[in-house]
Amino acid sequence: MIFVTLTDLRVKERCFEQREALPGEPRCVICGRYGEYICDQTDDDICSVECKTALLARIAAETKIPVKAPARVKVPFGDESFCVRDNNFPDIPSLHASQIASLRNKLDICVKGEAIPDPIMCFSSCGLPEKLVHNLDAAGYTMPTPVQMQVIPASISNRSLLVSADTGSGKTASFLVPIIAHCSRRELQQSESKRGPLAIVLAPTRELCLQVEDQAKVLGKGLPFKTALVVGGDPLAQQIYRIENGVELIVGTPGRLIDLLMKHNVDLTDVSVFVLDEVDCLLERGFRDQAMQIFRALSCPQVMMFSATIHPEIEKLSNSLLNNMIHISCGNPGKPNKSVRQVVIWVESKQKKQKIFEIIKRVLGRGMDLVKVHQVILFDMPNSIDEYIHQVGRASRMGKEGVAIVFVNEEDRKLFGELAQVLKTAGAPIPRELSNSKFTSSVSLGTDRKRKLSSRAHS
């Protein structure tokens, strides 16, 4: 039984029918949307019948009596049955074309291409291994995010993708899930020491590679899935030894991977998936030629490119790499994450240290649990507005609200116009010094701000 208000007798069946929660409103314990209803069995806030069912299923799974696992016996993995359809999956209700279009519109999913698979509503609806679905649930992935809803079925259908989505929207899991599913099907007819990699993920920095590999290990736990991290700062011999002993996935930076491939004989014959993560940063750091060199060493792989912003240079690269490509855009790529509240403070360079200490003291004075604080402070304004959007997006992960505090002064004047436009679009307050600067004069700021204040006054 679900409690509803008298003004809304129609109980929402699916979570995508529910709106996002406003500040201060209850949130669904499953998907984070507006918790319009209360589950009568648990007293938790939920948004729909779908999320109530998911909540009760999770509780039932947690209360099962643990069964002692049998002794592990190493046996070859057979050809696991994978059933993937471009349109409808058997365990969810069939959706008409108009319903699919409405779903994509509500979730801010835009797609371009031919024969695009329908988005999924749950991880279990696209033939993933049962263990992988269990790992997703254990890692907190109760329901797919919008980018995962569309990317996972498209990737499993072996389509090359160009994906643009907000930072923190779940892009990493959207390509790791299909990779792990693909790798777990490989028959172990050869000894482990002779198994070559099946997938390669390139990322621009060591830190990002570490994050990707850590997440891959969590999602691939208990499956025939091993990873190798190929980055600078670690002994190359150790990385080579790891690959020679058999791995399914290589995660690395372009420079270090090229160095490894040039000096050692690594068999890339079986690599069928090639992912370029944060491709805009890869290009900015001058890795285009190295990425192309690695691509040419592969035999017609499926290519997936991910970025928070899409530039003409990225589109040019995608056209040279991708055949029968699907372009998937989720949210508002190229703009700051809507879940992040931007606070821009005018601070002269000499006063930045004092200002940041004041902010930290206020945070500590509230007795807040710092582990749960989603806050980013940009001590120095980045060199480009795209980099600003990337860094601001770090304050929000998986749609959770966050705050980004940015210090600006006259030294950042080359970005004043673009920054003011970004803040205006997001409805964020603009410091007086920034709005009055001659470097911001080309941006109209007053009209929209008055309109927003007026609309709030009447709401």
Q: How far apart are CA 301 and CA 274, in angstroms?
A: 6
pLDDT at residue 459 greater than cutoff 80 = no
- Side-chain-side CA neighbours of residue 100 (13 Å): 17
Domains contained in the chain, CATH given: 15-62 (3.30.60.220), 97-330 (3.40.50.300), 340-458 (3.40.50.300)
Q: Which residue has the tokens 């000096």?
A: 263
| Pairing state between β 249-252 and 45-46 | unpaired
The DSSP line for 402-443 is EEEEEEE-GGGGGGHHHHHHHHHHHT----HHHHTSGGGTTS
Centre a 10 Å sphere on the Cβ of residue 384 and count the other Cβ atoms it contains. Answer: 14
- Distances in Å between the Cα of 64 and the Cα atoms of 40, 45, 61, 67, 412 are 21, 23, 6, 9, 58
What integer is the mean pLDDT of 299-306?
89
Taking a C-beta distance cutoff of 8 angstroms, is the pair 177, 219 a contact? yes
Q: What percent of the chain has pLDDT over 70?
A: 75
Q: What is the pLDDT of residue 422?
A: 82
What integer is the mean pLDDT of 154-171?
87
Q: What is the pLDDT of residue 227?
A: 94
307: helix, strand or coil: strand
Centre a 10 Å sphere on the Cβ of residue 102 and count the other Cβ atoms it contains. Answer: 14
Q: How far apart are CA 253 and CA 285, in angstroms?
A: 11
The rounded mean pLDDT for the chain is 77
pLDDT per residue over 6-50, tens digit each?
344 578 888 888 888 777 778 888 888 888 888 878 878 888 888
Centre a 10 Å sphere on the Cβ of residue 65 and count the other Cβ atoms it contains. Answer: 4
Centre a 10 Å sphere on the Cβ of residue 119 and count the other Cβ atoms it contains. Answer: 25
pLDDT per residue over 317-348, tens digit each?
787 777 778 999 987 765 666 666 676 767 77
Which helix (H) or strand (E) segment holds residue 26: the answer is none
229: helix, strand or coil: strand
Strand ranges (E), 193-245: 199-202, 227-230
The pairs formed by 265-268 with CB atoms below 8 angstroms and a separation of 24 or more are: 266/196, 266/197, 266/240, 267/196, 268/196, 268/197, 268/200, 268/297, 268/298
Q: What is the pLDDT of residue 396?
A: 65
What count of residues does the chain have? Answer: 459
Which of 43-52, 295-304, 432-441 shows the lowest per-residue confidence on average (mean pLDDT)?
432-441
Q: What percent of the chain has pLDDT over 90?
A: 21
342: its two tokens: 């931007």
pLDDT per residue over 344-380, tens digit each?
767 777 777 777 666 655 554 443 344 454 777 777 7
The pairs formed by 354-361 with CB atoms below 8 angstroms and a separation of 24 or more are: 355/407, 356/407, 359/405
pLDDT per residue over 398-427, tens digit each?
556 777 888 788 888 888 888 888 888 777
As a whole number of angstroms, the longest Cα–Cα distance in the chain is 73
Q: What is the pLDDT of residue 341?
A: 67
